[in-house]
Structure 1
Amino acid sequence: MSQTVARAIDIVAFVSRRHRTLGEIADHLGVHKSTALRILQTLEEGGFVRRVPDHRYAMGFQLIAYGQLALDQVEARALARPILQELSERSGHTVHFAELAGDRVVYVDKIDGRGSVAMGSRIGLPAILHTAGVAKAILAHQPDRARWLSRCDYQRFTPTTVAGPEELSAELDRVRERGWAEDDGEHEDFLNCVALPVYDARGQVTHSLSVTALKVVAPLAELRAHLDEYRTAAHRVSRALGWGGDDHGRR
């Protein structure tokens, strides 16, 4: 990959999180402002970035349009969406759908619940591997666990965040044994969720869904009480993806 292309990709990823100044972008790339500006001008012409009124740079509308087109091409998302919507409407909570994509677990759909609040999860962005329920529900079923454990930075967000690879590996063992994962305020301490694996036609866990709620609205114990309902939804999605076995990957 050429250096210019790599820098352009880096800029798009950098401004996707929040608006950035020219100086911030140049510092992030480790280049002079004039170099960063030339790349930004090209990206702006293509609609990949845009300047906002305070002279900072943000994600461009053309990129947002391409992102939506890419999501529309994710067949699993289209097949799962009616089931996810039904689950969100019935539970009243936010439902996430995630996909194993290379070395990441990415949110590919999100149905906001009634009275939902802002969450760190965004469609198209990767889940945090050592905290997100959707990530743990998938990773627990991957054969190359050591590689995944090495990819986590184990940043401590809250007192309940998994502290290191040994603790995460033990947690993944529990997830695989009981058939579901959870996030007990491990990234945002006011939220909790339970997550279920989703199987594809080969019986491999390639996706997962989660039900997320404010702790003051539905604490973890309450979410666990509805696991049968959530498990049924996950099984329905697995069926839609071509899986003909049970909830444990067995035919």
Structure 2
Amino acid sequence: MTNKNKTVVRSMDILNLFIDHIELSFQEVIELSGIPKTTAFRMLKSLEEMELLEKGADAKYRLGILFLKFGHLVSMRLDVRKIAYPIMNELHNDTKEAINLIVRDGDEAIYIEKVDTKQKVRLYTAIGRKSSLYAGACSRAVLSFLPDGEIKEYLESIELKPFAKGTITDKERLYEAIVHAREHGYTISHSELENYTSAIAAPIFDHTGEVIAAMSIAGLETNYQEGRAEIFVEKLKMATAEISRQLGYEQL
């Protein structure tokens, strides 16, 4: 084990103490962890600077504000997944297409749920897999409904790279797709993440009106022709609207 790894492990040993203890003094941290005094002091200082721990006026340490932020994110993702899953199942049984649920993870989206038991072809999407926010209907459904400033900053900083033959690699075209999504309430993609596949996606909003997730119907490109796409759009928008409603979103 390298010195760097030892530092990480020992830091986790300290943080794990707070699973069973709301607050601890410096001396209590030393006694419970078995870490030498000087090492413990240095680690506590670093954890405090990173907001993983906070030191009160009583000189006792408690879990810091960063854990509240992480806890909120984990809670939000669990909540949307729990609410969405039965609706995803219903939509899958109706359309026989794969149904995906994603949340934002920085400049990427991560797939946190998928229902595809009746979809015979395995697609690019899989739980835990990530994709860039610009690529694919589901990811772009989140990007399109971010605040204007965030979208502008993203478009200025991102380099558009192709993943399949239909990936949007032109920023003007990407902006047009974002405008279309905002006007119509959904996104559509053809061969953007994987050749010969299509997807239709719509955003999911929380009680503050913030886009926190997106859901898509996805399958072989041939299934999204001759008016079927329009049918999928209406079914999907009804499903995502219901998830948003259960999350406390009130559409004006």
TM-score (norm 1): 0.65
**Secondary structure of the corresponding residue to residue 186 of structure 1:** coil
Q: Which residue of 2 aligns with 1:226?
A: 232
Match of 1:104 among 83, 103, 108: 108
Change in CA separation of 1:142 and 1:114 when aligned onto 2, cut-off 3 Å: same
Structure 1 segments, 4+ long, off by >6 Å, are: 70-73
> What is the root-mean-square deviation in Å for CA atoms of aligned residues?
2.6
Task: State the 1:233 CA deviation.
Answer: 0.5
Mapping 1:175-214, distance limit 5 Å: 175-214=181-220
Q: Which residue of 1 aligns with 2:91?
A: 87
Q: Which residue of 1 aligns with 2:132?
A: 128
Mapping 1:1-251, distance limit 5 Å: 4=4, 74-143=78-147, 144-150=150-156, 152-219=158-225, 221-245=227-251, 250=252
| Residue identity (%) | 22
**Contact conserved, 2:199 with 2:218, CA < 8 A, in 1?**
yes
Task: State the 1:80 CA deviation.
Answer: 0.9
Task: State the 1:230 CA deviation.
Answer: 1.3
Task: State the 1:89 CA deviation.
Answer: 0.8
Q: Give the Cα separation in 2 of the matches to 1:120 and 1:71.
A: 27
Alignment deviations for residues 63-84 of structure 1 (CA, whole Å, 9 cap, x no partner): xxxxxxx799722101110001
**Contact conserved, 2:188 with 2:198, CA < 8 A, in 1?**
yes
**Secondary structure of the corresponding residue to residue 149 of structure 1:** helix
AA in 1 matched with 2:146: Q
Q: Which residue of 2 aligns with 1:29?
A: none
Q: Give the Cα separation in 1 of the matches to 2:140 and 2:228.
A: 20
* Gap regions ≥5 residues in structure 1: 9-69
Alignment deviations for residues 19-77 of structure 1 (CA, whole Å, 9 cap, x no partner): xxxxxxxxxxxxxxxxxxxxxxxxxxxxxxxxxxxxxxxxxxxxxxxxxxx79972210
**Contact conserved, 1:71 with 1:108, CA < 8 A, in 2?**
no
Q: Give the Cα separation in 1 of the matches to 2:88 and 2:151.
A: 28
Task: State the 1:92 CA deviation.
Answer: 0.4
Aligned length, in residue pairs: 182
**Secondary structure of the corresponding residue to residue 78 of structure 1:** helix
**Secondary structure of the corresponding residue to residue 189 of structure 1:** coil
Bigger Rg, structure 1 or 2: 2
**Secondary structure of the corresponding residue to residue 158 of structure 1:** coil
